[in-house]
Structure 1
Amino acid sequence: MEIRQLQTFVQAAQLESFSKTAEMLGYSQSAITVQMRLLETELNTRLFDRMGKRVVLTPQGREFLKSANKILYEVNKASKSMNEDRELTNPLHVGTIESLCTAKFPRILSEFHSLHPRVNLQITVDSPEKLIRMMEHNELDLIYILDTPRWDENWVKVMELAEPVVFVASAASRFAGKERLVLDDILQEPFFLTEKHANYRQALDQQLALRRQSISPVLEISDTEFIIRMLELNQGLSFLPYFAVEQDIYKHRIITLDVKDVHISMYRQIFYHKNKFCTREMEEFIRLADKRS
């Protein structure tokens, strides 16, 4: 039994596909098939059921996956301990959402690249649901999302920070300086909102639905930076995570509205899969993200 066979087995178990495993590991599909057959022969048990193009772990396969993960964890741990002073060079693939990428990632990545210039960083921007699926199929090293608190026994959560979502407008808005507004005061204003699948937009729509109310935005767009620029031109209102507008508020370009009857928070969270060995590159990204939190 070889380490590479265990690595291939774990990858195939996560992706449920020999062809995708071959593509990710740089082997031919036939080489993956041969490796798994040899492993099954050595263990004298069937590890996978072949179901069309999918391969699914048998009960024996699921049990062996636990052992394979433990072995690979100890191997990686030993390798890491021997290379603590080595320059970071392994690639790092992080998944995030658009608003976090725009507001938080430039400073994190700038410092990361300054400290570790040989690391090839790849960023994927998508919805939390898509990023979680990619993480579970080992297509990402870790994810940094904004959502309601998420948990699964197969994930390792290394950050969870509450983030208020606020109504915002231009500093020149007629609402500037007004206190104790209520939702009815602003509902008829033109709104620039993120698309309906954005989780904080969904949370707002749910609160409105409970009141039998709704907002009909003049524009829906995933680009929070574009929304902020429109607000600066005093073109309407929006509802955005505070971190996305913090710098513009500090520069007195836009303001938060004091809407007393709506309180919504989301949580910035970082996860990786429990079967994923946490590399030094992952640890360093997590450290810098926490530093910039």
Structure 2
Amino acid sequence: MTIIQLKTFLEIASLGNFTLAAESLGYAQSTVTMQIKQLEEELGVELFDRLGKSVVLTVSGTRLIEYAEKIKQLEREILLDVPISDEPNGTLKIGVSETLCYNLFPQYLLAYKKKYPKVEIQLMFVTHDTFPEMLKKGTLDIVYTLNPLIVRDDLLLLYNKPENLSFFASPKNILASKNEIAEKDLDSIPLLLTPNNCNFHNMLITDLKKHDITPKIELETSSKEILKQFAINDLGVTFIPDMSAIDEMKSGKLVKLNWSGCSFPIYSQILIHKDKNVNNAMKEFVNIIDSSVYRE
């Protein structure tokens, strides 16, 4: 079997169609058909069930997916790490939490691309519940996320920095004039929160329940822009990272409430899968973010 055959196999599995895979890869359909036929003959199994114009993976095809993805990932790592060069090159697949893009991440990315133009960056927004599997499969090489400190046996932490998670409201809000607020002050206050699959949401709800407070959730959305707009219009209090409300605080549209209740520790973190080789492209990505030159 060849890497080309395995790449073709993965493309067909993704698109569910030989013709679409051939167009995507720039091959004639007969070439794609022949590659899969040769792969199936070598393995002695059928990889796809042909259902008219569509195809679905067989049990054997499903088993091959994980191995094919690992081989494809290893090919990228070889191209990034093996060629003798004074600087990293190849493709680096980065997963990033959307919230981090409100702050300095765009500057980090521009600095990286300027310093290492031979590295092709492929960027994808991720959530905390999806990226570990993406790292395992090799869909991503490295993840830059904002969460409570992540400790998992299958992940390796390369970097972390404490960040702030706070309550924000319109200057007109009833809580804005208080010298400080705690859990009891949020009783009956409309809350503008991230969804219930978000760690920020769960941290707050868990804390309020400990204080026997039933939260009044006015809005749940993953969009920080919507949460901020609702807060600006005094439709409730939002609970989001400081970095996503910097401009609104500077302009006076939102005020940060002086919280004296439970602490909510979060960190910007860089993680990889524990079995991943830390190549030069990844090391330099961490170095750029860790450099004091780019800090606020």
Once the two structures are TM-superposed, the CA of residue 134 in structure 1 deviates from its matched residue by: 0.7
Contact 1:164 1:242 in 2 (8 A): yes
Task: Tell me, in whole angstroms, the C-alpha distance in 2 between the residues paired with 1:138 and 1:277.
Answer: 12
- Preserved contact between residue 193 and residue 239 of structure 1 (Cα < 8 Å): yes
Report the count of equivalent residues.
285
Report the residue type matching 1:283 in the other structure.
K
Contact 1:142–1:282 (Cα < 8 Å) also in 2: yes
The separation in 2 between residues aligned to 1:281 and 1:4, in whole angstroms, is 24
Aligned residues of 2:168 and 2:257 also touching (Cα < 8 A): yes
Measure how far apart 1:137 and its partner are.
0.7
Partner residue of 2:236?
236
* Cα offsets for 1:63-103 (capped at 9, x unmatched): xx9xxx9xx99xx7898476241463x12111122212333
The amino acid of 2:146's aligned partner reads L
Q: What's 1:129 paired with?
A: 129
In the aligned structure 2, how far is the partner of 1:287 from the partner of 1:186? 41
Tell me how far 1:116 sits from its aligned partner: 2.8
Q: 1:225 aligns to what?
A: 225
Aligned counterparts of 1:137 and 1:106: Cα–Cα separation in 2:
26
Q: Which residue of 2 aligns with 1:150?
A: 151
- For structure 2, the 5+ residue unaligned runs are 11-24, 28-56, 58-66
Q: TM-score, normalised by structure 2?
A: 0.67
SS at 1:285's partner residue? helix
Contact 1:96–1:128 (8 Å) recurs in 2: no
Residue identity in the other structure for 2:231: L
Equivalent in the alignment of 1:85: 86
TM-score by length of 1: 0.67
State yes or no: 1:97 paired with 2:94.
no
2: distance between equivalents of 1:195 and 1:288? 31
Amino acid at match of 2:132: I
Moved over 6 A (4+): 1-5, 76-79
Report the alpha carbon displacement of residue 172 of structure 1 after superposing the two structures with TM.
Answer: 5.1
Shift of 1:201: 0.7
Query: Would you say the 8 A contact 1:167–1:259 is kept in 2?
Result: no
Please state how far the C-alpha of 1:144 moved relative to its aligned partner: 1.5
Change (3 A) 1:150 1:214: same
* Separation of aligned partners in 1, 2:112 and 2:179: 42
Counterpart for residue 141 of structure 1: 141
Give CA deviations for 1:114-167 in whole Å, capped at 9, x if unaligned.
Answer: 2233432222113212111111111101111223332214x2210123333211
In structure 2, give the amino acid aligned to 1:131.
Answer: F
- Describe the shift of the 1:126–1:139 C-alpha distance in structure 2 as closer, same or farther (beyond 3 A): same
Displacement of 1:247: 5.1
One-letter amino acid of the counterpart of residue 152, structure 1:
D
One-letter amino acid matched to 1:101: C
Change (3 A) 1:251 1:136: same
Q: CA deviation at 1:190?
A: 2.8
Percent of paired sites with the same residue: 23
Query: Do 1:169 and 1:255's aligned partners in 2 also have CA atoms closer than 8 Å?
Result: yes
Task: Output the aligned Cα RMSD.
Answer: 4.9
Output the CA distance in 1 between the equivalents of 2:26 and 2:289.
Answer: 31
Is 1:259 the counterpart of 2:260? The answer is yes
Residue 214 of structure 1: aligned partner: 215
Q: Distance in 2 between matches of 1:84 and 1:234?
A: 56
- Name the residue aligned to 2:37: none
For 1:130 and 1:249, the matched residues in 2 are separated by: 31
Separation in structure 1 between the aligned mates of residue 228 and residue 221 of structure 2, nearest angstrom: 11
